[in-house]
Amino acid sequence: MPLHRRHLLGAAGAGLLLGATPLARAQAADTVRIFVGFPAGTTPDTLARKVGEKLVQAGHAKAVVVENRAGAGGQLGVTALKGAPADGSQLLLTPMSMLGVYPFTYKKLPYDPAADVTPVSLGARFDYGIAVGPGVPDSVKDIPGLMAWFKANPGKANIGSPATGSTLHFTAVTLGRAAGVEVTHVGYRGSTPALQDLIGGSLPALCSPLGTFLSHMTPNSKLRLLASSGARRSRFSPQVPTLAEQGFKDLVFDEWYGFYLPAKAPDEAVRRLNAALHEALKAPEVIETLHSAGMESSPSTPSELAAALQRDIKIWGPIVKSIGFTADS
């Protein structure tokens, strides 16, 4: 894949920063590559670029290249890492789903989520939100009210999500089942067209990352955020109750991005990169960027990242199997 100039982060001036301390000079890699399985301008791409800038500024790398391997729902990013050298110079930033959900939705993957990656650190966490638009009466104030309206209007019991086969899709269906309502999922290609239909009134409800809705939470907005999905209310929408608070105590979901090295990466490479990522993810500029998208910076140990993945595999595996969805069908 050709590397465009805009993909090269901070090479100019890096030498000055590298000269700041002998330790920084000794540990700095010539070039670090971050594989992202989504196009430029998407949230994971933005996070990768912000972190890359900080890695250069702190002297952990002379330059960072973000390689967008978009396609196959994010699989190509993982596949690129699988074939990369395990010397600590090439890493992956990926949402949980490519490793924790895809094994249940695809009959065959071009990578082994357990054997082909080495966990390094969590990057960010975020909750989901469920909102309604002008297609739903103003009298609907909460999730129980929405489910009651769906029951009374089965032809309008539609909840959209940014992608068929996503955890957002499965959350919408699981919510309907928990409420005893036959909900129809409407899949979109991204949050933007789904949000347009929600605001336009043709889509009654939308389940999407919480950040999708934050800029629309104004007194004159056409949408109403009814719930968030985390274990506690989000700092970004403290006035909005969780699904658990509204009677759905088993529906506690979130999503995360994680950083990985290839399989068999040396322990020292993992340790150094983990320390560098912790430093980058605590930078005010990175935190501000994440907050603007409704996300929390969440650096972790490698074992904590591995545990997070195992936790979500146990959550989403049974849900996907019960719904019977396969991406190959």
Number of domain units in the chain: 2
Rg, the chain, Cα only: 21
Q: What is the pLDDT of residue 185?
A: 98
Average pLDDT estimate for 317-322: 97
Q: Which domain holds residue 52?
A: 5-126+255-323
Measure the CA–CA gap between 189 and 123, rounded to whole angstroms: 24
Measure the CA–CA gap between 169 and 187, rounded to whole angstroms: 7
- Looking at the structure, tell me whether residues 152 and 226 fall in a common domain: yes
Evaluate if residue 16 carries a pLDDT over 80: no
- Looking at the structure, tell me whether residues 242 and 309 fall in a common domain: no
In a domain? residue 329: no
Whole-number Cα distances in Å, 185 to 17, 18, 161, 173, 323: 51, 51, 7, 7, 12
- Looking at the structure, tell me whether residues 32 and 145 fall in a common domain: no
Measure the CA–CA gap between 171 and 324, rounded to whole angstroms: 14
In a domain? residue 202: yes
Measure the CA–CA gap between 130 and 161, rounded to whole angstroms: 10
Average pLDDT estimate for 250-260: 97
What's the chain's average pLDDT?
Answer: 91
Evaluate if residue 276 carries a pLDDT over 80: yes
- 7 versus 306: the higher-pLDDT residue is 306
Cβ-in-10-Å burial (0-12, 13-18, 19+) of 288 comes to exposed
Q: Identify the CA nearest to 64 among candidates 48, 76, 75, 77.
A: 48
Q: Which of 246, 277, 311 is the last residue of a domain?
A: 246
- Looking at the structure, tell me whether residues 42 and 118 fall in a common domain: yes
In the structure encoding, which two tokens stand for residue 220, read together?
Answer: 């004159």
- Looking at the structure, tell me whether residues 139 and 101 fall in a common domain: no
In the structure encoding, which two tokens stand for residue 128, read together?
Answer: 């989901």
CATH of the domain at 234: 3.40.190.10
Evaluate if residue 7 carries a pLDDT over 60: no
Residue 28's pLDDT band, with cuts at 50, 70 and 90, is low
61-68/8-9 β-pairing: antiparallel
- Looking at the structure, tell me whether residues 121 and 261 fall in a common domain: yes
Average pLDDT estimate for 89-98: 97
**pLDDT tens for residues 122-175?**
999 999 999 999 999 999 999 999 999 999 999 999 999 999 999 999 999 999
Residue 30's pLDDT band, with cuts at 50, 70 and 90, is confident
Q: What is the pLDDT of residue 329?
A: 58
Q: Identify the CA nearest to 32 among candidates 3, 1, 65, 59.
A: 65
pTM assigned to the model: 0.89
Average pLDDT estimate for 306-326: 97
- Looking at the structure, tell me whether residues 289 and 141 fall in a common domain: no
**Amino acid code (one letter) for 238:** P
Opening angle at CA 150, ends 148 and 155, nearest 5: 155
Q: Which of 246, 278, 297 is the last residue of a domain?
A: 246
**pLDDT tens for residues 222-243?**
999 999 999 999 999 999 999 9
In a domain? residue 184: yes
CATH of the domain at 289: 3.40.190.150
Q: Which of 197, 223, 246 is the last residue of a domain?
A: 246
